[in-house]
Amino acid sequence: MEHFDAIIIGFGKGGKTLAASLAKAGKQVAMIEQSAEQYGGTCINIACIPTKSLAFQSEQQAKSGESKEDYYQEAIQEKDQLTSTLRENNFKMLDDQETVTVYTAKATFIDDKKIRLRSDSESLELTADNFFINTGSSPIIPPLDGIDDTENVYTSTTLQERHELPEKLVIIGGGYIGLEFASMYANFGSKVTVIDSSEEFLPNDDRDIADKVQKIFEEKGITLQLESRVKSVKNKDGGVAVTYQRGDTAKEITGSALLVATGRKPNTEGLGIENTSVQMDDKGAIITDDYLKTNADHIWALGDVNGGPQFTYISLDDFRIVRDQLFDDGSYSKKQRKNIPYSVFIEPVLSHVGLNEKTAKEEGINYRAASIPAAGVPYARIVKQTDGLLKALIDPDTDEILGCTLFCAGSHELINTVRIAMEAKLPYTRLKDNIFTHPSMSEALNNLFSSFD
């Protein structure tokens, strides 16, 4: 039985960064990943990187001059090559470390201090002073009638493995993952229908933003079926048929493929958590304190598996919280983590940080709001992406920025500038009067925040 200073289960962003940091400090580290196809974690293999690669490629489809089928297959191949290169680089990043041992095996806790590894070729037990669980999350498959017996049913992971472009794609779920795939596949040339149970499109967003997004989706030919609940799926005519209920009416739609985008769940199944003193919530997420410690003092949980926001950069920030405890004063915690930005890679990209009007009203927060159309930004015209809306909220007493929603070209970059200003508690005038290069999308912040004067 081999002993390590640290055992990290899961090759995701937080885990692999922690492994490298511990190795630099001379610690003996075991990095455990159950699949050789997942070195580097979910982000680079099946989520952020490949989907954004496909999203970018989809936007070039009309310019390519190729048939949509040929272009789609080339985009899939390019995505596969990208992820393969990153996966190999991530493996070498740790395997080349003298004090890191990479195991490709399934890990199961025997007790608080010991795990068992199983692979096709071996079974062994390891112990450690500290354990770090970073196993991520996976798609939720709802218990729909017929779903287990129906072909051409995909998750956000498996749809990317399909080399044939679906002529008609049906998507269950109008959340951000579903909408990214809807936009992407519509650009590639699929006829897309999104079925969602919500009464409103993008129910957590302000109506002016949601209406803009919906208009663009409809212009792409995407059909949105709201207030609809899927009841069953089945094979039909070489594809799939989906039966859903809208009001008192049962309807059926057929497609070449079905994407189930109904959320993700923490990957704790098979970890043997029940053999430890670690506790989980009713959704299967590992319960931690603000410092990411479980109720076992030597076991931490990082990333999606702890039930926090499901973003790679949150997993990275989880690493910072743990690093601060191991190598610094231990003062940094989730309490300091505010104003988390996010981007939805539809076309154009939808990005947000802080409050929107809907949330501010619900929380009784006083605010001023201003917005400008994306078409008013010169660079948006240069790149021919004039659709969209830019919107911000400020505190009328302090002039600090309360929140910002950017639905425009390059918003995934711009939103980070806004967050820095928010974290620094700068008045909105600092962005209004900042010197930005021209022409650029950044100078849209001059225009947006000038709207408050």
Catalytic residues: 438
Burial class (CB in 10 A: 0-12, 13-18, 19+), 65: exposed
Instruction: List, in sequence order, every beta strand (DSSP E) within 79-178.
Output: 100-104, 106-111, 114-118, 123-133, 137-139, 153-154, 168-172
Cross-sheet strand order for the sheet of 389-394: 342-344, 350-354, 401-407, 389-394, 368-373
Is the separation of the CB atoms in 126 and 111 below 8 Å? Answer: no
Please say whether the beta carbons of 201 and 210 come within 8 A. Answer: yes
Q: Could you tell me the end-to-end alpha-carbon distance of the chain, in angstroms, rounded to an integer? A: 69
Q: Do residues 105 and 39 make contact, with C-beta atoms less than 8 angstroms apart?
A: no
* Of residues 188, 235, 228, 199, the one with CA closest to residue 72: 188
Say how far apart CA 267 and CA 271 lie, in whole Å.
8
Contact, 351 vs 412, CB < 8 A? yes
Contacts of 217 (CB under 8 A, 6+ apart): 179, 182, 183, 186, 224, 346
Residues 6+ apart with CB under 8 A from 312: 12, 13, 41, 42, 43, 47, 48
Count how many residues are written for the chain: 453
